Amino acid sequence: DPKTSVVNGNNQVHTCKNVYVTDGAFMASASCVNPSLTYMAFTARAANHAAQELKKGNI
């Protein structure tokens, strides 16, 4: 929801469809454990979404 967040479920910025946030900047709080694998998973999801959107000509 653009009213409560900067990015959507694919880490794509609501107001700029060509921008994806793939580091920890989109997380609302810090983790108590090493978040490296979590960041890699979010990056993989965002990259997959970007590739699909690029093939469709949407970005």
Share of the chain above pLDDT 70, in %: 100
Question: Nearest Cα to 50, choosing from 59, 40, 39?
Answer: 59
22 neighbors 46 (Cβ within 8 angstroms): yes
Give 39-52 pLDDT, tens digit per residue.
899 999 999 999 99
Average pLDDT over residues 36-40: 90
* Main-chain dihedrals φ then ψ at residue 12, nearest 5 degrees: -90, 130
What is the distance, to the nearest Å, from the Cα of residue 31 to the centroid of all Cα atoms in its chain?
17
Global confidence as pTM: 0.79
Share of the chain above pLDDT 90, in %: 64
Q: In the structure encoding, which two tokens stand for residue 11, read together?
A: 């880490």
7: left (phi over 0), alpha (psi -120 to 50) or beta: beta
Residue spans of the domains in the chain: they are 1-59
